[in-house]
Homo-oligomer: A and B are copies of this chain.
Amino acid sequence: MKTPDFQKHPLIPAIIQDSQTLKVLMLGYMNQEAFEETVNNKIVHFFSRSKNRLWKKGESSGHIQEVKKIFFDCDEDTILIQVNQIGDAACHEGYVSCFFRELDNDQFSIVEKKVFNPDTVYKK
């Protein structure tokens, strides 16, 4: 069976896409542990490169991602996961998608509206 090859690629990028709207929400990185947690619990987990640990997406905000479908690419080095995004927003800045900036005339400008206030969701 072809599977993600974590021996060859210890950190594999995982594209997260909304299963209903097909909007691309974010990209994170998975090690074998994160991939297995994701598959077994049907909740997206990443390996956080900044925290250097397993990271359950939404652990602070509650905006977890329920796994609907998992795909894997021809080169065995990228994962695509379709999810149900709890809280309607994936981005820690309050947008539905982390890809809220679009290039327009040599400038990236914000093309989405915030759906939550990060200061409220991420209480200090």
Contact = CB atoms under 8 A, between A and B. Distances in A.
A73 B102 contact: no
Nearest to A80: B99
Interface string A76-111: 001010000000000111010011111100011001
B103 A75 contact: no
A1 to B, nearest CB: 6
Contacts of A39: 103
Interface in A1-39: 1-3, 13, 15, 17, 21-24, 26-27, 39
A95 B17 CA distance: 19
B78 A101 contact: no
Contact of A92 (B23, B74, B102, B107): B74
